[in-house]
Amino acid sequence: MNVKSKRFGFDLDNTLIDYSHSVQEYCSNNSLEECKSIEELRILLRESDKSGHLWQLAQGWLYTDGLSFAQHMPGASELCAYLKDKNFEIFIVSHKTTHTPIFCGRKPLREIATNWIISGESAPFFLDTGKINFESTRPLKVGRIQKLGLDYFVDDLVEVFQEPGYPRDINSFFLSERQSELTWVRDVPTLCSIREFIENE
CATH superfamily of 7-18+72-199: HAD superfamily/HAD-like (3.40.50.1000)
Q: What's the confidence (pLDDT) of residue 121?
A: 82
Give the residue extent of every domain in the chain.
Answer: 7-18+72-199, 20-69
Residues 6 or more apart whose CB falls under 8 angstroms from that of 76 comprise 10, 16, 121, 122, 191
Q: What's the confidence (pLDDT) of residue 116?
A: 94
Mean pLDDT of each 10-residue bin along the chain, 201 residues long: 82 97 98 96 95 96 97 94 94 97 96 93 77 96 98 97 96 95 95 92 80
Q: How many CA atoms lie within 13 A of 97 on its CB side?
A: 8
Q: What's the confidence (pLDDT) of residue 128?
A: 74
Q: What's the confidence (pLDDT) of residue 127?
A: 63
Q: What's the confidence (pLDDT) of residue 3?
A: 65
Q: What's the confidence (pLDDT) of residue 59?
A: 96
Q: What's the confidence (pLDDT) of residue 126?
A: 77
Q: End-to-end CA distance of the chain, in Å?
A: 23
